[in-house]
Structure 1
């Protein structure tokens, strides 16, 4: 996937494209949830990191390596936010990182009642994450996380749209 010239699209178009691309990357088997979110956001930011950054997200699907803990899509969203608001050694922590991180957490809690993979997918317990219904549910969560992150980054002018020039 290539980086995207976001200035050719409206804010609404970008948010919808981000959502659909994240969902498609998961749905077609290219990536799992965390990987899809990181990849799509990195691309819409103009690839500040090489596409191989997705490797950092590979241990987070299915609640951290199938442990059922923190939702992989949420983990991917947090990593994607770190692309913009994170720091390197010697830099001060940006308060915005905490604000955005908590915002994503609270958004998912409001939508799904939890950020825990095993809670969010409890109705499919025992299917070893193989049922099409469970996959559809997780694809949807992946899209919603990517959509939320993109909306915040657009609102903060980190992803530029046609109507923000």
Structure 2
């Protein structure tokens, strides 16, 4: 469902984006990467149909439970690609690389790593569905969706009141 943006202030919209991504994950409807991608696609008025979330389905728990790159970050990177990505034959937009690196650096600055197994080290050996780990991952998911939305607002890709 598309998110109406023009009647909201920047803060209201960012709060809504963060809450939406967190609720998609918390409810069990989607995992981290899927929640971020679905939320940003909705924010942009659904330029891609709802099946786009399938692209993000292999990334939760650090790429299929491998513990590598955080799934929320992967979802954020795919979300940036909706706006700044290219199709075959087009030149790469420098903005794609710039925003992609900024997202990486943001999470690295916040958590000292972008690796799922490091971000969730406190729960090593614990089921990935444990309550503590879920709360932690839901928070990261919301922060990534909020960060991406903020960048899109600041770049004029999303209009607010």
Q: TM-score, normalised by structure 1?
A: 0.96
**In structure 1, how many angstroms separate the alpha carbons of the residues matched to 2:129 and 2:52?**
27
State the Cα distance separating 1:4 from its structure 2 match: 1.7
Structure 1 gap ranges (5+): none
State the match for 1:157 in structure 2. Answer: 156
Match of 1:125 in 2: 124
> For residue 8 of structure 2, what is the aligned residue in structure 1?
9
Equivalent residue, structure 1, for 2:144: 145
Relative to structure 1, the CA distance from residue 4 to residue 130 in structure 2 (aligned partners, 3 Å threshold; closer, same or farther) is closer
Q: Give the match's secondary structure for 1:87.
A: coil
Post-superposition offset of 1:128? 2.3
* Secondary structure of 1:6's aligned partner: coil
Mapped partners of 1:16, 1:4: distance in 2: 12
Q: Distance in 2 between matches of 1:9 and 1:42?
A: 18
Count of equivalent residues: 161
Q: Which position in structure 1 is the counterpart of 2:97?
A: 98
Residue 135 of structure 1: how far off its partner (Å): 0.4
Alpha-carbon distance in structure 1 between the residues aligned to 2:37 and 2:115: 19
> What's the C-alpha RMSD, in Å, of the aligned pairs?
0.6
The separation in 1 between residues aligned to 2:10 and 2:103, in whole angstroms, is 19
Q: Deviations over 1:89-130 (max 9, x none)?
A: 111100000000000000000000100000000010011202
Could you say which residue in structure 1 is the equivalent of 2:38?
A: 39
Residue aligning to 1:59: 58
Cα distance in 2 between the residues matched to 1:77 and 1:33: 10
Partner of 2:26: 27
Runs of 4+ in 1 over 2 A off after TM superposition: none
Match of residue 74 from structure 1? 73
